[in-house]
Structure 1
Amino acid sequence: MKAGTVTRVTRGVASAVIVTAGLSGCTTGAEAGRKAADSARTLVSTLTKASDQAAGAGSAEVEMSVTMPGTGGRPVRLNGLYSWGNGLAVEAEMPAEDLRMEDLVADGTITYRLVQGAYYYGIDPAPSGPYAGRTWLRIEASAVLGERGAAGMNAGDNDPTAGLKSLKWADEVTEIGREDVNGKSSVHYRATVPVDRMGDAGAAFGAAGGGGGGATELVSDVWVDDKGMPSRLNQTLGSVIVDIDFLSFGVVKEIAVPPAADTADITEAVRNGGTARG
């Protein structure tokens, strides 16, 4: 594999990590759309309960996009399954152009997995070189996140419901109104969370691509369906925007490690800043 290809993969991995390290409908009119909350405490309690129920589901099928300075203002998209009951695992499809990997697949789509502490990217068989015939690229999470970050990835705070946890720090919550989200009747809430009340969570969110930009508050829009589960979450901090649609919860599916014989490990190339050896 050429050094230039590995460099592009390295950049693509950075974008995918932001998506996986985890953060519209029509309103019903001006008066109903921004009515003041009768009790901010009651609404925070409602959102906290939705957060806890979602986290307890253990898995979710999601559609997600993240926009940040490192993506050039273009969202990085992901559609797939997260599982976090026993360590974080992901299986998803991502547009190759979002990952700057267009030259690695003919159909424009990258199959992406995060399992057992490593990232895997499904590619067309390499025609030549040291990785000839391989159909997966493997990168250890520690090469991208560092040892501490890789260990923290499985600490229980990096599933797609993690962004909901910030709502407990909200000092302003309003009920926007009832809207349809992917066929589910949902109540739309907006919460404003001061960054200085979020502790490490605020620092982590703002560190995404350096996109905090001095923003002082995280604005979260969350839609809760009639079962008390979140159906959509939109969060904005400065120029970082995270959009998640929760399509279903509790999906049971094993996310397998690709066969070693089909896998090219490019961890060391990524550690060396995209310089391929061999």
Structure 2
Amino acid sequence: MDKISSNAALLTTVATILALASTGGCQEKAPPASQGGTFSTELSTAAQKTEQYGAAEVTVKGQRGDNDPITSTGTYSWIDDIACDVTVNTAAARAQRLVKSSRMRLIVKDNAYYYQVNPRIKGKRWVRVEGTGVPSEQAAREAMVEADPTAALRAITNSHAVDDLGWETIRGTRAHHYRAKLDASRLGDDVENALGSALGGSSAIVDAWISRKDLPVRTTQTVGTYKVTIDFLKFGATTTITAPATSDTATLADVAESGIRQP
């Protein structure tokens, strides 16, 4: 499951950067007087309303360079710990030998990834991968806690260099477009090194489109050659996210013993 694990590690790196920025780790210069407080008020309101909902049905697309994007659609929850119950395009995840259908189901719950497989492995429908077991995911637990869709909103709200790009139409909804650039050198050596080695960049660009209802329609985070786009389709819990039963869950060791190899 190397491709999926690598994608998860990249998403976690992006999440870590945004988490640091959103909690004030980005020490930027004071905003010029011309930017006033309007941006901050509108973005803060959007972040607060989104946090209060606690969950949403979303579509997430992660893409590095010209590689095929990995897309997921489903429920994303940030009420307590981060959790999601989504489907992912099987081919882009290179999981065709584990899943025969075009989409595979993925659940993230309690710092673990659960992949639904078909055919079953040792009679079990799920494979569990611990967050800390994903390659390059050294701070998986901390990052996953912060890796909610509101992180991008908090990051752009706390940034002192926000550009107002005007009103645009996103999926039929009029939305106010804001953009902020986060300088890696202001986020500490660890993040700067991660940006350079893992994602090939030295800064993160965060975009947010806010509707007249003060809710995000879309956010994007671009770090080097990697870009994550989140489309918010419906706010509020659309399904209860629960981890699969232990009795129906296999391990990576079980996958190896079954002789299944990634293409």
Q: Could you state the TM-score of these two structures normalised by the residue count of structure 2?
A: 0.78
Structure 2 counterpart SS, 1:124: strand
Structure 1 counterpart SS, 2:134: helix
* Cα distance in structure 2, aligned partners of 1:276 and 1:43: 52
* Cα distance in structure 1, aligned partners of 2:44 and 2:195: 22
2:4 to 12, 36, 45: 12
2:198 to 188, 198, 210: 210
Matched, 1:121 2:115: yes
CA contact (8 A) 1:119 1:139 kept: yes
Matched, 1:261 2:253: no
Distance 1:150 1:53, change over 3 A: same
* Post-superposition offset of 1:74: 2.6
Matched, 1:149 2:139: yes
* Post-superposition offset of 1:51: 2.2
CA contact (8 A) 2:180 2:205 kept: yes
- Which amino acid is the alignment partner of residue 101 of structure 1? A
Distance 1:253 1:20, change over 3 A: farther
* Cα distance in structure 1, aligned partners of 2:54 and 2:193: 22
Matched, 1:160 2:123: no
* Cα distance in structure 2, aligned partners of 1:47 and 1:204: 29
* Post-superposition offset of 1:200: 8.3
Matched, 1:236 2:222: yes
1:226 to 212, 232, 240: 212
Residue matched to 1:90: 84
* Cα distance in structure 2, aligned partners of 1:231 and 1:167: 15
2:233 to 243, 247, 252: 247
Residue matched to 2:28: none
- Which amino acid is the alignment partner of residue 68 of structure 2? R
Percent pairwise identity: 29
2:99 to 101, 105, 109: 105
* Post-superposition offset of 1:205: 7.3
Residue matched to 1:173: 162
Q: How does 1:30-41 map to 2 (within 5 A)?
A: 39=35, 41=37
Matched, 1:186 2:201: no
Which structure has the bigger radius of gyration? 1
Residue matched to 2:61: 65
Distance 1:164 1:57, change over 3 A: same
Gap runs ≥5 in structure 2? 19-32, 259-263
Gap runs ≥5 in structure 1? 1-8, 24-36, 270-274
Q: How does 1:34-53 map to 2 (within 5 A)?
A: 39=35, 41-53=37-49
Structure 1 counterpart SS, 2:92: helix
CA contact (8 A) 1:19 1:78 kept: no
Deviations along 1:199-245, one digit per CA (max 9) or x if unpaired, are 589559727x71143x2x32222110111111111222221211111
Q: Could you state the TM-score of these two structures normalised by the residue count of structure 1?
A: 0.74
* Cα distance in structure 1, aligned partners of 2:36 and 2:217: 21
Structure 2 counterpart SS, 1:106: coil
Distance 1:204 1:226, change over 3 A: farther
